[in-house]
Structure 1
Amino acid sequence: MTELAAPTGAYQYERQTVDPVTFEVIRHRLLAITDEQGAALAAVSGSPLVNEATDFNTGLYRAGGEVAAMGQTVIFHAASCSQMVKHVIADCEDDPGIGEGDVFVVNSPYKGALHAPDMGLLAPIFHDGERIAWTGAACHQLDVGGMVKGSFCSAATDVRQEAMLLPPMKLIDGGELRSDVWNMITGMSRLPMNLGLDMKGMLAANNVAQKRLGELIDRYGVDVVLSVMDELMDLSERRLRSRLRELPDGVFAARTYLDHDGHEDKLHPIEVTLTKTGDQLSFDYSASSPQARGFVNCTYTGLLAGVYAGVLPLLAHDLPWTEGIFRPIEVIAPPGLICSAEWPAPVSQGPLGAMWLTETTATEVLSKLVSTSPDHIVEAQASPSGGPDIFTVDGLNQHGEPATGVMLDQTMSGGGAYAHRDGLSPQGHRNIIAGKAPNVESLELIMPVLYLHRRLLADTPGAGRNRGGQSSGAAYMVHDVDSFRVLAACHGYTVPTAPGLWGGLPAATNVHRLYRDTDVRAKLAAGELVTEIDQLSVSEQLLSAKPPVFEFGHDDVYEWGPQGGGGWGDPLLRAPELVAADVRDDAVTVATARAAYGVVADADGTLDADATAALREEILTARRAWPAAQEPLTLDAAAGRTLAPVGDQLSIVELDGERYWACDCGSAFAHAHENPKLRLGTALAEPADLGTRVTFHAEIEVRRSACTSCGRLHFAEVARHDDPPLFDVRVEVA
């Protein structure tokens, strides 16, 4: 990507040394400003996407667009708002100029937005006539035009079909609203009132930031406040670099597959190689698929957003979230890939498509990196949900008003497991750190639906010594209207895109089902409480991952269930009593307890300890006989010294001056420079081996790799049939 030019009209200040107390006061005040921005946006907007899903962010930026402070909501926007500001500077500095009282609007994904519905309003901040900073707010709009209501355009082949596209342009000029621009923007939306309120909310957020920052400057002086901003960036950079130096150098890889691009059910690999050297990280996505024909691509901004969303919670959870976090990070992707799409590739589902999977792959490689450090492994996490479904309503609601919006149950997804505990049930999306579970009553109030159920779903988590978190699913029927139209679209229906770590199994695949011409109304009229689909007489209409817009009729029922989180560690190491409790609590079914965990239990959670011990020994015996691509070594690791852990079941050991991979059973089975999977026994898994809610694409397989000495499961790799084993951990130890 071409670097954007540095600003020419910025105030050149004198850096001050600020005492620690004043520094902390100003630092917290900057964060409080972003919180107040969010409160102002939510109060004015009224959109459920703002108030329920917290699908927005706010921030303060230095004169060149560098992140000085960011809100704690959707962290994808850490990259987006900053890139928008940089594009405003590059495009508008000379013509039409950037002046005091100006506000710029951007929604072009090729000019910094994540996709067109994520509109941003950016305002320069001046002091004594010179530009010192920027403030910005971005939030998801219910509709910004395009081929379909809601602006998720599954049939698009060109970004210009998806929405109005706003490059940086002035919405307010010197404090005066440009009504022509305002009217043009709202006139392109099918929901002009909603869009207008969102824009007014973002204006309010920016006004708050300008006022509060001005008050801060009046109290402490402009040079002191700017010094704190810049020192915060430097502080974040120093601390992250220090943390990176504590970790071993190495190369770590992850690969996943996006199924269905809106036109064809073909697989699009997204693959990253992370190289950690000293205090630098390099994320290389060059091996990913060329950009897709359909709307699942993301631009380079989306790629940055995905990587940053992986880095911030995992490596920088206790650091100030500023531009300094991003300075040690290099992100590589030649133009024209699914994660670095070139104009005019469609990208309207990019944040829920390629961008989402750049985040999960970034999280995976970073977790593999920190798993090589005893001090930092506690932060490693198996993958959270790898594919958020959408259910976009288009029609009139029960009040006769236009109802265009997204049902938000998909935010209630399970979290990935850790080395020390299970994943959260549900965790919510990892990149929406302030996300809230929307109330059923709130959604029924504004949408023409009636919930039949919303509940945690069994077998959504990935199995492991520590299992992933459960996701919540829901079922709806039409209420108080005859019908409405629906766009339903995601990925991960036939590819497990929430993998486990270190022998943990991937989570379930996504599920959505449409049942036509049911007798649900007759059942309800007869006083029967309907909570299960098998209570109904139905005709199921099979849905692809991205079906065309369909009519949701008066007697239809729609059911969906998102993925949970991936598991951690060999499932046979989970205590049988915990698995039995999972069965009793409807987190795991009897069938999955047996197939994935080797646990025999009744539906009420009663454990058969003897049958469990016999079954687990049978599974271990079978694993020890799995064939290996290369003959395993059989060296005694106990005779050497451990150089580095790799997760909590593997390590790199030194024996007689040579380095080897070792299982925690004490067997050194491969040279350290080799891909360990080649000397582990490997067998293909059937979908039922992973759980009752798993489906495989025709091109996909899951390879399980275990120690031939003890039967310990170390890897469960999702791959296309002809892909070589991924060499995903190469540790350099002194």
Structure 2
Amino acid sequence: MSAPQQTDPTEVDPITFEVIRHRLESINTEQAVALKAVSGSPIVSEADDFNVGLYRADGQLVAMGRTVIYHASSMSEMVKHVIADCAEDPGINEGDCFVLNSPHKGALHAPDIGILQPIFHDGRLVAWAGACSHQLDIGGMEHGGFMPQARDIYQEGLQIPPVKLVDGGKVRSDVWSMITGMSRLPDALSLNLRGLIAANRVGTTELGKLVARYGLDTVLSVMDRLLDLSETRVRERLRELPDGVFRARSYLDHDGHTNTLHRVELELTKTGDALRFDFTGTDPEAHGFVNCTRTGLLAGVYAGVLPLLAFDIPWNSGALRAIEIVCPDRTLLTSLPPAACSQGPLGGIWMAEMTTTEAVSKLMATHPTYIDEAQASPAGGTDLFCPNGIDQYGDYSGWIVLDAMQTGGGAYAHRDGLSPQGHRCISHCQVPNVEAQEMIMPLLWLYRRLLPDSGGPGRQRGGQSASAAMTLHHAHWLRAAVGGHGFEVPTASGIFGGYPARCNARVVVRGSDFWSHVEGGEVPLEMDVLAGTVEETAAKTADFMLQAGDVFFWYPQAGGGWGDPIERDPADVQADLAQQVISAETATQIYGVVLTDGRVDEERTRTRRDEVRALRRAWPRAKEGPVAAAGEPRPTLALLGDALRIEGTVDDAVVVCRCGHALAPAAESWKEYAGVLAIDAPDLGTEIRLHRDLRSQMYACPACGRLLEIETSRPDDPPLVGAEVDLTTVGVLTEAFAARG
């Protein structure tokens, strides 16, 4: 391999630049089409759990598909590890392809196999094509690649460092046989590997055509300029925002062995045109499979940043140059061998994304324009259901049931979350049709439907998730690995007074009379009409069984709410009731409405809400105000969401509620001056459960009774100071406030 060389910069006119830029993106689309056409896996063809990309010779991401965002950073790291491990021996040459799935060499976890192909021009390495997808099985203790019983990574299936799979255009059958021979589903794995190779060949061929048309220097100059453009635009946006420190904290419950809590703590520091994500307060490695590696931490941060900060900027490595990530080794987010990590994408990585989303949203919410891009938490923890057994055709097989992807989106300041949104980390998210799943699995779906009371209440509510119910069909039993978090922690948290979304839950009615109902001409759609034993399943286990007659009910998390629920328009609450988005219980207890004959009584609702505000004004406070003269005009320096803002001067600034009450000195935590009330799980919603080691508190304005924040934490964790704005830098907001009036 000749060493990667720097490109001589070539002047490219704007039209040619845009034509080539869009062609690079369309090549990604063609790569994805090839992968989906060849792969027989429903994870790829139905759910889009994959990604493809084009990379510079040194591994920098130039253009990525809009499927799994996590894979964007993952494959970039894969390329760098292939170069480091293979450049000298066995060498990187034209026609080669390299395969790997080691979480310590760039993969997210072992089921994510990536294949990378170097792209040469006149003997010179100029770029890479990459494709990565989740596999149905890669060996190990359990079918499906997720190992709830694992104590170390060596029990979690095949771990492949960078290995040459295709040598000069010829597949190495020995390596191929070794990889597929480790799987319980070798034919499915073989077909998926061929799909990945096909995607890379498309990428290589089409990039070659682009070079032939425009010239190598022009294409590479566009790539480099594209990276620089994204970096420039991200840094420009950051300079529009004030400096400061923005924090988020969450907890992951149950590590696969014991129901322990694992804290993820983030301190985001914004300075000038750079962001520093410091996860130093995160708990040590868990004993089970919920950890992620440092690659996973990168993936979680990038998936949290890109949709918020770079919503209108090309996604590539340039957009990420302004980011520094700090975390010591051997935490939940930076595990090292021998720690288990097979559930990393649904565990540690997911938590890194959620805390990043919250912290970056708090930063964006300081700005009167960018506050509209800030978002409450989407579903804070997806659930896993990987059954295996003898299918309806008499063959052994295994699957991943993907209904848990139907999750709600987080609320915004100006609108409700989407119902359902799907996973935020999968930009182009799909869920397989029921009929497609029933063709390949011995399962019969009773229903899929939006789930009442799933989204977090708020002035703008979180989006709903969709629940599902299913039973065995033409099978006697199935065994499954199940695993999720957010069962006893409301990880889909609300923001700025919004409530969290429901917790994850699974329920099985054992030995039900389902088929008796069907024989009588009725499909039972509610759990309470079924006879049988009701059993809530463990958060994580490898020994979950479904037998003939059992009915499985699945209740995924949804999106968190934004703002005080009693500020929601009564007409919107009425519409939510009519559409069964919320229950009457939620309407009265959380939204503070009064119902008469099932309809919102607006006059009595105003009275009831005034009573709620009066109760909140009486909540105890650690410190008493006022901290500034009432009615004194003060210029706005920065927002803290849309309920609080900072007013005054740099030397004499106060945190002010939207009602005009000067709540606290800006140099202190406003929570010490707010009313505070300790609450229990039922106060948070009908489907919230709190781990025995957690507590929840509400904070409200002592003047108007507006709910400002709900915080869930360990009793020994101090109240979180969510935002500290550097007031010496708020001058950047002057024009923005003037423009918004």
- What TM-score, normalized to structure 2? 0.97
Shift of 1:720: 1.2
**Residues 554-604 of structure 1: per-residue CA shift (max 9 Å, x gap):** 0111111111101001111001121122112111111111111111236x8
In 1, are the aligned partners of 2:454 and 2:502 still within 8 Å (CA)?
Answer: yes
Q: Which residue of 1 aligns with 2:220?
A: 226
CA distance in 2: counterparts of 1:338 and 1:206, whole angstroms? 33
Q: Which residue of 1 aligns with 2:620?
A: 627
CA distance in 1: counterparts of 2:535 and 2:633, whole angstroms? 61
Question: Do the aligned partners of residues 146 and 673 (structure 1) sit closer, same or farther apart at CA in structure 2, a change above 3 Å counting?
Answer: same
Question: Tell me, what secondary structure is at the counterpart of 1:514?
Answer: strand
**Residues 259-305 of structure 1: per-residue CA shift (max 9 Å, x gap):** 00001101000111100000000000110010101000000000000
Q: Which residue of 1 aligns with 2:611?
A: 618
Q: Which residue of 2 aligns with 1:609?
A: 602
Greater shift in the superposed pair: 510-519 or 466-475: 510-519
CA distance in 2: counterparts of 1:492 and 1:337, whole angstroms? 19
* Equivalent position amino acid for 1:532 in 2: E
* Equivalent position amino acid for 1:469 in 2: G
Question: Do the aligned partners of residues 216 and 62 (structure 1) sit closer, same or farther apart at CA in structure 2, a change above 3 Å counting?
Answer: same
* Residue 679, structure 1, aligned to residue 670, structure 2: no
* Equivalent position amino acid for 1:392 in 2: C
Identity %: 53
Match of 1:282 among 276, 282, 286: 276
Match of 1:20 among 14, 20, 32: 14
CA distance in 1: counterparts of 2:615 and 2:2, whole angstroms? 68
Question: Tell me, what secondary structure is at the counterpart of 2:590?
Answer: helix
Q: Which residue of 2 aligns with 1:122?
A: 116
Q: Which residue of 2 aligns with 1:422?
A: 416
Q: How many residues align?
A: 727
In 2, are the aligned partners of 1:255 and 1:272 still within 8 Å (CA)?
Answer: yes
Q: Superposed, which structure 2 residues align to 1:573-652 within 5 Å? A: 573-601=567-595, 605-635=598-628, 636=630, 638-652=632-646
Q: Which residue of 1 aligns with 2:329?
A: 335
In 2, are the aligned partners of 1:425 and 1:470 still within 8 Å (CA)?
Answer: yes
Shift of 1:526: 1.5
CA distance in 1: counterparts of 2:413 and 2:331, whole angstroms? 34
Shift of 1:225: 0.5
Q: Superposed, which structure 2 residues align to 1:462-541 within 5 Å? A: 462-541=456-535
* Equivalent position amino acid for 2:608 in 1: L
Greater shift in the superposed pair: 258-267 or 394-403: 394-403
**Residues 71-122 of structure 1: per-residue CA shift (max 9 Å, x gap):** 1110001110000000001111111111111100010001000000000000
Q: Which residue of 1 aligns with 2:260?
A: 266
Question: Tell me, what secondary structure is at the counterpart of 2:540?
Answer: coil
Question: Tell me, what secondary structure is at the counterpart of 2:104?
Answer: helix
CA distance in 2: counterparts of 1:494 and 1:417, whole angstroms? 22
Shift of 1:401: 2.8
Which runs of no fewer than 5 residues in structure 1 stay unpaired? 1-6
Shift of 1:634: 4.8
Match of 2:54 among 55, 60, 63: 60
CA distance in 2: counterparts of 1:91 and 1:659, whole angstroms? 55
CA distance in 1: counterparts of 2:661 and 2:7, whole angstroms? 62
In 1, are the aligned partners of 2:637 and 2:649 still within 8 Å (CA)?
Answer: no
- What TM-score, normalized to structure 1? 0.98
CA distance in 2: counterparts of 1:521 and 1:33, whole angstroms? 50
Shift of 1:605: 4.6
Q: Superposed, which structure 2 residues align to 1:86-485 within 5 Å? A: 86-485=80-479
Q: CA RMSD in A?
A: 1.3
Q: Superposed, which structure 2 residues align to 1:560-571 within 5 Å? A: 560-571=554-565
CA distance in 2: counterparts of 1:272 and 1:445, whole angstroms? 44
CA distance in 1: counterparts of 2:542 and 2:123, whole angstroms? 53
In 2, are the aligned partners of 1:34 and 1:60 still within 8 Å (CA)?
Answer: yes
Question: Tell me, what secondary structure is at the counterpart of 1:549?
Answer: strand
Question: Tell me, what secondary structure is at the counterpart of 1:27?
Answer: helix
CA distance in 1: counterparts of 2:525 and 2:647, whole angstroms? 54
Shift of 1:8: 7.5
In 2, are the aligned partners of 1:458 and 1:470 still within 8 Å (CA)?
Answer: yes
In 2, are the aligned partners of 1:426 and 1:470 still within 8 Å (CA)?
Answer: yes
Q: Which residue of 1 aligns with 2:731?
A: none
Question: Tell me, what secondary structure is at the counterpart of 1:481?
Answer: coil
Shift of 1:380: 0.4
In 2, are the aligned partners of 1:250 and 1:732 still within 8 Å (CA)?
Answer: yes
* Residue 547, structure 1, aligned to residue 541, structure 2: yes
In 2, are the aligned partners of 1:637 and 1:655 still within 8 Å (CA)?
Answer: no
In 2, are the aligned partners of 1:584 and 1:605 still within 8 Å (CA)?
Answer: no
**Residues 628-649 of structure 1: per-residue CA shift (max 9 Å, x gap):** 1222335326422211111111
Q: Which residue of 2 aligns with 1:733?
A: 727
Q: Which residue of 1 aligns with 2:76?
A: 82
In 2, are the aligned partners of 1:395 and 1:484 still within 8 Å (CA)?
Answer: yes
* Equivalent position amino acid for 1:391 in 2: F
Shift of 1:437: 2.6
**Residues 490-530 of structure 1: per-residue CA shift (max 9 Å, x gap):** 00000000111111111111111122111111111111221
Shift of 1:161: 0.3
* Equivalent position amino acid for 1:168 in 2: P
In 2, are the aligned partners of 1:581 and 1:605 still within 8 Å (CA)?
Answer: no
**Residues 163-184 of structure 1: per-residue CA shift (max 9 Å, x gap):** 1000000001111110000000
CA distance in 2: counterparts of 1:450 and 1:141, whole angstroms? 24
Which runs of no fewer than 5 residues in structure 2 stay unpaired? 729-741
